[in-house]
A = this chain, B = another copy of it.
Amino acid sequence: MKISIILASGKLESYYIDAIQEYNKRLSSYCKIKLFQCKNVKEAEKKIPKNSYVIQISTSNTLISSEFLASKLNSFAVSGVSNIAIVFNFPCSFVDEIISISSLKMCDGLLLTIIYEQIYRAFRIINNQAYHK
């Protein structure tokens, strides 16, 4: 499974970059995950791989649980969806699903860290593994 996380603009603080790198390392056993930091919306939309299932992160829809994300990723694996694109902080014109992870406004780095932590947590849940390495 390939997961592309696509961000239009937004400077990330160094501690969030460190956190993302750590989850990136932990996730290497489960999937290929790549972060694309783009300059603008046009560039960001181009980074969405063809045939991807596109998930937009929003703060205004129904909030998901960690278990919901795990069952979602599991259903992708079962049904053969191999490219997932997660887009946030820009209005993408072709989206398959919108999910909310918090009702709070947050800076991009923190939101991104939560997404990485939750994807890692989801793979641990799918594989019946305890949270920590």
Where the two chains meet, the residues of A that have a C-beta atom closer than 8 Å to any C-beta of B are 13-16, 18-19, 22, 63-66, 101-107, 110, 113-114, 117-118, 121, 131
Once bound together, how far apart are the Cα atoms of A117 and B22, in whole Å? 20
One complex includes copies of this chain to the number of 2
Judge whether A118 and B101 touch: CB under 8 Å.
Answer: no
Instruction: Write out the residue numbers on chain B whose beta carbons fall within 8 Å of the beta carbon of A22.
Output: 13, 15
Q: List 16 contacting pairs A-B, 8 Å CB cutoff, sorted by A.
A: A15-B18, A18-B18, A19-B19, A19-B110, A63-B102, A64-B103, A64-B104, A65-B105, A102-B114, A105-B121, A106-B114, A106-B117, A106-B118, A107-B117, A110-B117, A114-B114
Instruction: Write out the residue numbers on chain B whose beta carbons fall within 8 Å of the beta carbon of A104.
Output: 63-66, 101-102, 114, 118
